[in-house]
Structure 1
């Protein structure tokens, strides 16, 4: 199938070129979890410090939110059009911002790479120092906390891990939930 957009009511949906993988929403309950409120000091490297906070903790994966704060430096990716019929969109080159950047929202997923090491994934919206709005996939190890602390809430859980696997519908490697005990 040729990738394309379809209008459904007031919403434009992108139809990927691969076979649809239904259902896309999966539900799983876990018996226990651990909730962390992490406050990162100004000048802190976000990705490096999050991995240090998680080191030694027993969990399979985690999800969380950027609650407040900003950055003095960050890099993020936006989707760009490609020339590939199978994968018409991909992440473009990183966009780099300097100066005070205020986070509006952000969702973090902590998954597992093929070697079962923690893998950080974050999409966020933010405003640059001139008031311009931005959003995309953050490169967490290239974010430096700004002049105010960055507050993050993470919920760590066991029994389900998000693992990077190829997705035949989107032609991206995505974080898929897999039943797995904590390491």
Structure 2
């Protein structure tokens, strides 16, 4: 789904919702799940100047290979890169991440949803969608590249829930032609 910034039917505060149709074989409803009890609840406070991706990987290395989800609960950044989905001219992949948008200065996080996953070789992947406000008050959002985020003047607070016996592992997806994180059973 895509949210447009155009008001729906002229009603301020509402947005038009459009459905993305991908070129691959549809798999609807897209229900993939795995029951896993939480094993660790973490509250992480990152100091000003910290590189977020690097710091999270250091913390996660203490807990072994597993998946998790998390939230940015508040804080600022000095610099970050993010992507937004754009239309392409490729019929097999009509939507893709566009070039990175770079923000610098006083950036305040409004929200952020983090998924902790891994590639086929077991390397940690950090996936994040976030909303934030720049120093001029403009609202931004999209796929945040956590490896590019430098914490600003206010500490960044992140809460993570790591799973006991499950992970999100990257696999190809027939419908979207993207590599997606799929729930996968694992030993703790």
TM exceeding 0.5:
yes
Structural RMSD (CA): 1.4
Contact kept in structure 2, 1:59 and 1:156, CA below 8 Å: no
CA distance in 2 between counterparts of 1:168 and 1:76 reads: 25
Query: Unaligned stretches of 5+ in structure 1?
Result: 1-9
Q: TM-score, normalised by structure 2?
A: 0.87
CA distance in 2 between counterparts of 1:68 and 1:122 reads: 14
Query: Unaligned stretches of 5+ in structure 2?
Result: 1-15
Counterpart position of 2:125: 119
CA distance in 2 between counterparts of 1:73 and 1:126 reads: 12
Counterpart position of 2:157: 151
Alignment of 1:81-92 (within 5 A): 81-92=87-98
Residues 27-53 of structure 1, C-alpha deviation per residue, up to 9 Å, x if partnerless? 332234110000000110000000011
Shift, 1:70, TM fit: 1.2
Counterpart position of 2:174: 168
1:103 matched to 2:109 = yes
CA distance in 1 between counterparts of 2:34 and 2:173 reads: 20
Q: TM-score, normalised by structure 1?
A: 0.89
Counterpart position of 1:75: 81
Q: How many residues align?
A: 173
Counterpart position of 2:62: 56
Secondary structure, aligned partner of 2:93: coil
CA distance in 2 between counterparts of 1:132 and 1:31 reads: 39
1:20 matched to 2:26 = yes
CA distance in 1 between counterparts of 2:38 and 2:111 reads: 26
CA distance in 2 between counterparts of 1:91 and 1:100 reads: 25
